[in-house]
Amino acid sequence: MSEETQRFENAPEVALEWHRDGTGAALATVVQTWGSAPRRAGSQLVVGGDGRIEGSVSGGCVESAVVFEALEAIEDGKHRLLEFGVSDDDAFAVGLACGGTIKVLVEPVGGALPVDLLEELVAARKERIALAYEVDLDSGARRLVRDGYAERLRMDRSGVEEDGKTFVAVHNPPLRLIVVGAVHIAQALVPMARIAGYDPVIIDPREAFAAAARFPGETLMDDWPDEAVEKLGLDARTALVLLTHDPKLDDPALEAALGADCFYIGALGSTRTHAKRVDRMVAAGFTAEQIGRIHGPIGLDIGAAGPSEIAVSILAEMTAVLRGKSS
């Protein structure tokens, strides 16, 4: 992930940084929008006290008005809930078929948004802890929720609750893909996954496979797979893909994953190969429920032929599992 992309997505971190260095900052967050909006609910724009900005709340048609309101909010310390009726012409200019309404919550750091709450949010994000930021749009009361809004967290879906006044911003850790086996399929899968928003890591102790020339710009680890996944950690935002065909390499990482909370585990191999894998996991003491989490043979059955199509099938299955669309 590039530094530019990181700053674009890390609005809370940027806002805290600007507040701490004395610039002042306000966070502007999309809370409600029309169906085909260029920026979904939860998207954020950081406005500095000196007028600089990071991020976006629209395709450009309301940013200037949001910046103006944010600068005033930094001065008076009060939050604002802004509503913009976007005309058909403006909507067309940012690539929409028709106009609509966008609502944006502006919160000055150190005023409406307490610094200690923002610090707690940033710390949780650094530790890859999923949580929700809840705001009562009427009263302005706000809090972090660590055990709640499970469906919103699973779907990465920020938005206003049915009561019409409670806005919930989802703060999930970045998606991560750990690939064991620096093979041809991995060469196709890794760039696809990066485009889909994953942070990939490739593990392979075989020097000829895990070569920088084969995976330019990617993170490569030549540790034994179980040691590598222990260093990386496996959590609910991690997908593990096993591609070596070699039980000596795949199984150590697989056993670590079956005892962890990663959302997807996929292993390459035929039905017969997978049956042998299941037997090994039973012998290792894993339960039928744990073993049932393994997707093997890996990928959706799309009739894939060749590494690139197999990679498509794997990424499609990962997405289906993440979004609760897989049986």
Pair (76, 101) in one structural domain: yes
Q: What is the mean pLDDT of residues 224-248?
A: 93
Domain count across the chain: 2
Task: Indicate the SS3 state at residue 82.
Answer: strand
Structure tokens at 297: 């043979």
pLDDT at position 90 over 80? no
CATH number at residue 273: 3.40.50.720
Q: What pLDDT is recorded for position 243?
A: 96
DSSP one-letter string for 272-292: HHHHHHHHHHHHTT--HHHHT
Q: What is the pTM of this model?
A: 0.75
Q: Band of the pLDDT at 7, cuts 50, 70, 90?
A: very low
Within a domain: 290: yes
Q: What is the mean pLDDT of residues 30-34?
A: 83
Within a domain: 93: yes
Q: Band of the pLDDT at 4, cuts 50, 70, 90?
A: very low
pLDDT at position 95 over 60? no
Q: What is the mean pLDDT of residues 185-199?
A: 95
The pLDDT tens digits for 266-296 are 999 999 999 999 999 999 999 999 999 999 9
Pair (51, 64) in one structural domain: yes
Pair (137, 217) in one structural domain: no
Pair (140, 211) in one structural domain: no
Q: What is the mean pLDDT of residues 89-107?
A: 66
Share above pLDDT 70 across residues of the chain, in percent, rounded to a whole number: 90
Pair (116, 133) in one structural domain: yes
Task: Indicate the SS3 state at residue 268.
Answer: coil
Q: What is the mean pLDDT of residues 225-249?
A: 93
48-62, 180-194, 234-248 — which is least confidently predicted? 48-62
pLDDT at position 36 over 70? no
Structure tokens at 316: 């499609």
Do 316 and 300 form a contact (C-beta atoms < 8 A)? yes
Pair (155, 47) in one structural domain: yes
Select from 171, 196, 216 the last residue of a domain: 171
Q: Which is it for the CA torsion 50, 52, 54, 57, positive or negative? A: positive
Task: Indicate the SS3 state at residue 73.
Answer: helix
DSSP, res 182? -
Pair (42, 138) in one structural domain: yes
- For residue 292, the tally of other CB atoms under 10 A from its CB is 10
Pair (185, 71) in one structural domain: no
Pair (33, 75) in one structural domain: yes
DSSP, res 142? E
Within a domain: 297: yes
Within a domain: 73: yes
CA dist list (Å): 78 to 47, 73, 231, 322:
15, 5, 43, 38
Select from 150, 171, 192 the last residue of a domain: 171
Pair (209, 122) in one structural domain: no
Within a domain: 316: yes
Do 278 and 290 form a contact (C-beta atoms < 8 A)? no
Within a domain: 327: no
Within a domain: 315: yes
Amino acid present at 254: L
Within a domain: 123: yes
Q: Strands, DSSP E only, in 64-182?
A: 80-86, 100-108, 131-136, 142-145, 159-160, 166-171, 175-180
Select from 171, 193, 223 the last residue of a domain: 171
β 100-108/80-86 pair status = antiparallel
Structure tokens at 28: 């502007």
Q: What is the mean pLDDT of residues 176-197?
A: 96
Domain that holds residue 139: 3-171
Pair (162, 199) in one structural domain: no
> No. of H helices and E strands in the chain?
12, 15
Pair (91, 212) in one structural domain: no
Q: Band of the pLDDT at 220, cuts 50, 70, 90?
A: very high
Rounded (10°) angle between helices 11-20 and 115-126: 130
pLDDT at position 8 over 60? no
Q: Distance between CA 209 and CA 315 in Å, rounded?
A: 21
- E strand or H helix that includes residue 198: strand 198-203
